[in-house]
Structure 1
């Protein structure tokens, strides 16, 4: 039996996810390790709001910038 993942039709970021996007926009570093320690989900990566470089550091994408500008 195969289990399908449920994906809500409307994506609403959590407060922690918005805070992380704002940190990235301001130029603060957020590594995969610190994100895991803060219990952030991979939804930011899955939704294309952030990207990772080869050192596993996160960088905000244009889509992520649009999201936080809309929420401000």
Structure 2
């Protein structure tokens, strides 16, 4: 069962990953993991596009907006 946005506590790295996906910023040298966490994907905040690239979902965008 997915965690509700109000109880999901993303790490600072996970929040930064979501922000970068929202802004379509791709940087390898940031010190952040090159791939989103499995947790973000399992909870439906990030999905894979047909080409394999990570994409922010509507749920991930809602989480970001809630955290701002």
TM-score > 0.5, shorter chain as reference: yes
Corresponding residue for 2:13? 16
Deviating runs (4+, > 3 A) in structure 1?
none
**Over alpha carbons, which structure has the higher Rg?**
1
Q: How far apart, in 2, do the equivalents of 1:41 and 1:49 lie?
A: 10
TM-score by length of 2: 0.72
- Deviation of the 1:12 alpha carbon: 0.6
Q: How far apart, in 1, do the equivalents of 2:58 and 2:64 lie?
A: 10
Which of the numbers 59, 62, 65 marks the counterpart of 1:66? 62
| Alpha-carbon RMSD | 2.5
